Amino acid sequence: MGINDERDIEANLQIGPTDAGMVRLFVEGNGIEIPMDFTPEEAYEIAEEITAAANRVSGAKSNR
């Protein structure tokens, strides 16, 4: 399975800080829970990657 392979799976995504000073992405779906913790620096890198991908898809050249 790759990034362009579609799946008919529903999942919920929650994003927030933890008591340990990490940023958690929490994915829940089909009876599975996946907590992923990142340092603030890693979270900023992920946010930049998401923004860059959204800009490529929308054709935008600047941050929104």
Q: What is the pLDDT of residues 28-58, one digit of tens each?
A: 999 999 999 999 999 999 999 999 999 999 9
- Nearest Cα to Cα of residue 48 among 64, 26, 37, 25: 64
Q: How far apart are CA 1 and CA 3, in angstroms?
A: 7
Three-state SS at 16 = strand
Task: Count CB-CB contacts under 10 A for residue 38.
Answer: 15
Sequence-distant (≥ 6) Cβ neighbours of residue 40 within 8 angstroms = 21, 22, 23
- Its pTM stands at 0.77
- Average pLDDT estimate for 5-25: 95
Percent of the chain clearing pLDDT 70 (strictly above): 92
